[in-house]
Amino acid sequence: MTFRRYGVIVTVAICIAAVTLLVYRYRALWWPDEEERSEPGPLRFLPKRAKARVHLYFSDPEDRFLTAEYRTLALSDTVTQRARDLMKALIEGPKGPLSPTLPAGTKVLALYVTQGGMAYVDFNRAITENHPGGTFSELLTIFSMVNTLALNIPEIEAVKILIEGREAKTLAGHIDIRRPFRANMLMIK
């Protein structure tokens, strides 16, 4: 009789050990780690269409420098789509007292971001045909786009501007846009 009791006790102990081992091994199915329960990380890891606070760079009312307008936008999870979302908001113009930097009728025809951090933004001809002209006005237009993209999306290091799929010399006759541009903090106040 005692032999049978020991056999039952050993069998029950083995079963408890097996269940404990299985629970320990698959605990993530029932109790996620703290990291999995925490808030989403920085902008580059946001879930699809998550809201994020961004800085859109528009001209001050006197057209002397760029100023950030803070907005909360629903941004996509891919770098390229986030860049498109930001450009769309920039083209729509400021909501407050700031001045738009992109001419009326401007549209993004295509936007690509390479693995190396280069964003190619292809605009329709309205960006040149409707541009008011002037060296500083061109600088405000260029760096409102570049700063908006590069300062909101860490994966973008530089921006190359194209017009209707081709490289152009300038927007309105002054600033050479054949090379890519990096963010310029000196344009911001």
| Mean per-residue pLDDT of the chain | 86
What is the pTM assigned to this prediction?
Answer: 0.73
Task: Give the torsion through C-alpha atoms of 72, 80, 110, 70, to 10 deg.
Answer: 20
- pLDDT tens-digit series, residues 110-133: 999 999 999 999 999 999 999 998
- pLDDT tens-digit series, residues 134-168: 999 999 999 999 999 999 999 999 999 999 999 99
- pLDDT tens-digit series, residues 18-36: 777 666 665 544 444 444 4
Residue spans of the domains in the chain: they are: 2-37, 43-187
42 vs 124, higher pLDDT: 124
